[in-house]
Amino acid sequence: MNKLEKCPVEEISYSTLCYHQEKKGYEPFPEWAKAFINIGEASAKLKVSEFRSVIALTVPVRTYAAVLIAVGIVKHRSLQSTGSNDPNEYFARLCGLPSLTKIWLSDGQKRYKGIILGTESVGGQHVLKIQRFDSIHYVGAQNASNVEIENWAGELAMDTRGKRIVRRVDFLDAVYDGAIPKDFGTKSRLDAVIVGSVARLQTEIVNTQICVKLPTGHSIDGKFQDLLRTRRIAPDRPFRSELVSDISPDLDCKLRTEDSVVIFDGARAFINQRDEFKACTRIVVLDRTTQSFQDAVDILNQQYVNRVTEFPRFQNTPGIPWGMELMAFEERIS
């Protein structure tokens, strides 16, 4: 049984997600946009194996395809908790970290930079000793989920006020049909990586006005950033996705990408950076109007010839626009 049969591509309801159109106001997301979200979600469902999954698609215009696919990926992955199911196991892992490891410590509606100083016994309880800007904090196993390991940049001394945790619960709740997990917006995990023109992608993620229309008739405004939590756009805040330049791979090498889905946004991104993120499921978005379109197609066709298996059901994704080609297969990682 191939992997997709366990996780068939289903149409999910996004009828309330809207985009803003000048002079017309908010309009529901069109079919093509829903198709990209569905493709993202279906690719996130593919189980990681010894082989690599590749989903390649041709589009008439590059814009928004990668961002919408990333929304689908993050949406599906957000249903899985970021931390270990066993808090004691996670606490034991934290205690095993070397002294001076950089972490984030959540406290109320804020998160602060911190450094692990070691472990101590307080009142007979084994606790983690953490240095914040101006104080020492002790964290026990029951609060271990407030600690997040991340190699933040800058100085501990500069982080006097912490970073406010912005969850946008109402917006997320409406988009995710009430299924929003507790740690979305408070915990980091790299679910999706988009490799492409950072400036353009950033504009799409931050400047596009979207909203969710509720059955009550009310609507809640938002941005793609509320759904994607892109690390580059909001550094020092919990993230779920990241943008990587298609010119030089500038991803923080300390980030774990093995479980991420990587979206190559454009032929150039794929041609230049395809040797990176080797083990990740990859989605390649090819804009038909670009100069290097055919070069990327040739590479993908060659990979398809050497495939292990293919996922023809991706082509049944609802809403695929006219002329969009979609090829999904599994290949050996060379």
C-beta separation of 40 from 319 below 8 A = no
- The count of chain residues that interact with other proteins, using the rule CB under 8 A, is 43
Q: Does 235 bind other proteins (CB under 8 A)?
A: no
Q: Does 275 bind other proteins (CB under 8 A)?
A: no
Q: Does 26 bind other proteins (CB under 8 A)?
A: no
Q: Which residues contact 61 (CB under 8 A, 6 or more apart)?
A: 287, 289
| The only residue of 133, 152, 176, 304 in contact with other proteins, by rule CB under 8 A | 304
Helix (H) / strand (E) containing 215: none
Q: Does 20 bind other proteins (CB under 8 A)?
A: yes
The Cα 189–Cα 83 span in angstroms is 9
**What are the start-end ranges of the H helices in the chain?**
3-6, 31-45, 65-78, 87-95, 169-175, 198-207, 224-228, 267-273, 293-305
Name the residue nearer to other proteins (CB basis): 148 or 265.
265
Render 34-51 in DSSP notation, one character per residue.
HHHHHHHHHHHHSPP-SE
| The only residue of 2, 109, 203, 306 in contact with other proteins, by rule CB under 8 A | 203
- Binders in 54-113 for other proteins, by CB under 8 A: 56, 58-61, 63-64
Q: Does 195 bind other proteins (CB under 8 A)?
A: no
Range in contact with other proteins (rule: CB under 8 A) among 162-170, 183-191, 204-212, 255-263: 204-212
| The only residue of 97, 276, 293, 299 in contact with other proteins, by rule CB under 8 A | 293
Helix axes 65-78, 31-45, angle to 10 degrees: 50
List the one residue out of 96, 128, 130 whose CA is nearest residue 113: 130
Range in contact with other proteins (rule: CB under 8 A) among 19-27, 166-174, 228-236, 256-264: 19-27
The Cα 258–Cα 175 span in angstroms is 27
The Cα 86–Cα 45 span in angstroms is 23
Range in contact with other proteins (rule: CB under 8 A) among 6-14, 182-190, 228-236, 284-292: 284-292
Structure tokens at 253: 């090498």
| The only residue of 189, 268, 274, 282 in contact with other proteins, by rule CB under 8 A | 268
List the one residue out of 279, 294, 223, 321 whose CA is nearest residue 51: 279
Q: Does 184 bind other proteins (CB under 8 A)?
A: no
| The only residue of 2, 8, 11, 30 in contact with other proteins, by rule CB under 8 A | 30
Write out the residues near other proteins by the rule CB under 8 A: 19-22, 30, 32-33, 56, 58-61, 63-64, 199, 203, 207-208, 210, 247, 268, 286-291, 293-294, 297, 300-301, 304-305, 310, 321-327, 329
